[in-house]
Chains A and B, each alone.
Chain A
Amino acid sequence: QQQVKQSPQSLIVQKGGISIINCAYENTAFDYFPWYQQFPGKGPALLIAIRPDVSEKKEGRFTISFNKSAKQFSLHIMDSQPGDSATYFCAATDSWGKLQFGAGTQVVVTP
């Protein structure tokens, strides 16, 4: 059973547009919420992460919004670029460091 639910499965956005990926979780023991980016033929790499005591974190064009009461968090990619085309995974982990991943979202940015 997927402990972290991610949507959409895929999205297509034009260059310069905003990509939004949503995730939801049930386990209140989760205390760290990373996002991983994966390019074809490569392993996932940490993109950005947030703790539940913060409602928003921004790093460059990437922003995580976190809603603790709703147990939801999302990734916004502003000014999307063709180089952002990749699969994005949300994840959640508890104090034991065991990562639970979402199913992934394939993002395609068209020129």
Chain B
Amino acid sequence: EAQVTQNPRYLITVTGKKLTVTCSQNMNHEYMSWYRQDPGLGLRQIYYSMNVEVTDKGDVPEGYKVSRKEKRNFPLILESPSPNQTSLYFCASSLSRDSYEQYFGPGTRLTVT
């Protein structure tokens, strides 16, 4: 089944404790992206990657890191999480930069205390 998977689905952590949220897609998509969803703000893009080893900042990149060492994986790293990073995170992928349909993962709900 073609899908985007994220792990973990739920995470509660404390301020400053480094964490990684994994994202993997099995559709051989070139383009991958991370979003955060907050009430009243919709989805805001954090980082995106047009291909392996190519990443760029989205609208809200502060406090996040990403890497794209393999085509299928695009982990999101929070080096020192803070309470304002409490949010619902979605990973998405699409065939290419020019392919407008993005496929979203099921989401990761992160709480930072």
Tell me the minimal C-beta distance from B105 to chain A in angstroms. 5
Cα(A98)–Cα(B31), bound, Å: 10
Within 8 A of A (CB), among B7-31: 31
Interface contacts (Cβ under 8 Å), in number, total: 55
Let me know if A12 is at the binding interface, CB within 8 A.
no
Determine the residue in chain B with the shortest Cβ distance to A1. Answer: B59
Let me know if B41 is at the binding interface, CB within 8 A.
yes
A residues sitting closer than 8 Å to B (CB atoms) are 2, 4, 6, 9, 32, 34, 41-46, 49, 89, 93, 95-99, 101-104
Tell me the minimal C-beta distance from A50 to chain B in angstroms. 11
| Cβ-defined contact, B43 with A97, below 8 A | no
Interface of A is mostly: loop
Find chain B residues with CB under 8 A from A104 CB. 42
Determine the residue in chain A with the shortest Cβ distance to B91. Answer: A43
**What 1/0 mask marks residues of chain B from 79 to 113 whose CB sits below 8 Å from any chain A CB?**
00000000000101010111111101111000000
Find chain A residues with CB under 8 A from B45 CB. 98-99
| Cβ-defined contact, B106 with A42, below 8 A | yes
Let me know if B65 is at the binding interface, CB within 8 A.
no
| Cβ-defined contact, A6 with B106, below 8 A | no
Determine the residue in chain A with the shortest Cβ distance to B92. Answer: A43
| Cβ-defined contact, B31 with A43, below 8 A | no
For A97, give its contact among B41, B44, B97 (CB under 8 Å): B97
**What 1/0 mask marks residues of chain B from 51 to 70 whose CB sits below 8 Å from any chain A CB?**
00000001000000000000
The 9 tightest CB contacts between A and B, nearest first, are: A43-B104, A101-B42, A97-B97, A101-B43, A103-B42, A32-B100, A46-B101, A44-B104, A104-B42
A102 touching B42 in the complex, CB below 8 Å, given contacts A42-B106, A42-B107, A43-B90: yes
Determine the residue in chain A with the shortest Cβ distance to B41. Answer: A103
| Cβ-defined contact, B58 with A98, below 8 A | yes
